[in-house]
Amino acid sequence: MSKKIQTEKAAAAIGPYSQGICSGNLLFTSGQIPVNPTSGEIPAGIEAQTEQALENLKAIAEEAGTTLVRTVKTTCFLTDMAHFARFNEIYAHYFSERPARSCIAVKALPRDVLVEVEAIIELQ
């Protein structure tokens, strides 16, 4: 049986989907873009956008009763691979356990953001 995860501490879904779903002992998150959940604003620059997207992801994990330390897999989307090194610098602060990861260049993302991140996280 699955359980929907919803928190006001992460950006609201902008379509017909959930922020996350717990199924078995795993949390599957939807892709998180860098929208500030309080103001609705998108910060400028890859560093600030990466941090906001990961803060949104962290909030969803915490709402599900787990932490980013338990992440087993992330999928990351960048609109420009020239941002890869700066993205990695911020990402490394959030994922000290180094989960498996795919990082994909895409043509565009919702709201013209530079980054989106989704994760599969073990529940505690």
The boundaries of the domain holding residue 72 are 2-122
Q: Which residues are catalytic?
A: 103
- Reply yes or no on whether the pLDDT at 15 is more than 90: no
Q: Cβ contacts of residue 119 below 8 Å, gap of 6+?
A: 27, 28, 29, 57, 61, 68, 71, 73, 74, 75, 99
The pLDDT tens digits of the residues spanning 50-78 come to 999 999 999 999 999 999 999 999 999 99
CATH of the domain at 92: 3.30.1330.40
Domain count, the chain: 1
* Whole-prediction pTM: 0.96
